[in-house]
Amino acid sequence: MIPAWLEIGALVVMSVVIVADLVLAFARPHIPSVRESAIWIAFYVLLALGFATLLFFFADGNLSGQFLAGWLTEYSLSVDNLFVFVIIMGRFAVPRALQQSVLLVGIVIALLLRGVFILLGVTLIEHFSWIFYLFGAFLLYTAVRQLFTNQNETEEQESGAIRFLRRHIPITPHYDGAAFTIRRDGRRVLTPILVVFLAIGTTDLLFALDSIPAIFGITQDAFLVFAANVFALMGLRQLYFLLGDLMSRLVYLTYGIAAVLVFIGVKLVFHALHTNQVFFLGGGKPFEWAPEIGTLTSLGVIVGVLVVAVGASLIKLRIDAARAH
């Protein structure tokens, strides 16, 4: 059980940080340096680890482990968002200095939408225990789809979505800082930045269809699910500027993320079998042989898979660079 003061305190801190980040981003639009991006990412990581530590001492060690596993899962799955962010920024020709403001607002929109999605997921879990079968099957399907969908196909899909927005919303082709509208020919017209905000926010919601079921495979605590999403997304903007085109060269990361999805999908199916209430499966009785995979095991598998995937990608980069010379 998480103490009320810890939940309220965490929400206050997260809200203050997000608001301060918004104010700073719009007050001083610029291209973050590598050092600045690294400092912000370290700050957000320390915040997440600090929250996990408070959970360990004032709530429960198992809840702390659930948060860490959920946070790492959300962070790794959010990496896919970066590829799409790059595509959206390119399609709308967003000025480099404005990109961090655009990303931040898009992420805030995504958090609000994910909050609604999380509440819906919790309600479904409370009333329909069989939903874990669907979550597990969906994650397994998503993992297979991720392995066989290349970056060019993703780019074409996103381009189609952006063309739809351009066709149905009258906008000027020019930016005016972070302004949503400008006066043109005596009337107010929208600037592209509003459409970019909507594109990033709603695109992230599509990714939430994968990530929210995944984290429900680790914890069903709505607050921990939301907190893990907030901490994962808060550092995403800085990660965009820090890693840049390196993301597209981490060739094995996609396989690592797919492996994480497979693991959590299998875990969800085992959990559904272990608590089975579906009348046409075993007469509606639980399958005692189905193992319940613990939090520490989940955390170890997720960390191990991501370390191996990133490490192998970096080794390949070094080998390719040596061959090129």
Contacts with 154 (C-beta within 8 Å, 6 or more apart), sequence order: 83, 84, 87
Q: How far apart are CA 117 and CA 123, in angstroms?
A: 10
- pLDDT, residue 292, reads 80
For residue 35, CA distances in Å to 31, 41, 44, 47 come to: 12, 10, 14, 18
How many other CB atoms are there within 10 angstroms of residue 145's CB atom? 12
Q: What is the mean pLDDT of the chain?
A: 78
**Mean pLDDT: which of 43-57, 187-201, 215-229 is highest?**
43-57
Q: How far apart are CA 281 and CA 184, in angstroms?
A: 64
How many other CB atoms are there within 10 angstroms of residue 266's CB atom? 16
- The pTM of this model reads 0.75
Q: How far apart are CA 164 and CA 142, in angstroms?
A: 25
pLDDT digits (tens, 9 = 90+) for 101-124: 777 777 777 788 788 888 888 887
The candidate with the shortest Cα–Cα distance to 79, out of 315, 217, 258, is: 258
Q: Angle 192-216/222-234 helices, nearest 10 degrees? A: 130
- pLDDT, residue 54, reads 94
pLDDT digits (tens, 9 = 90+) for 162-190: 566 567 666 777 776 666 777 777 777 77
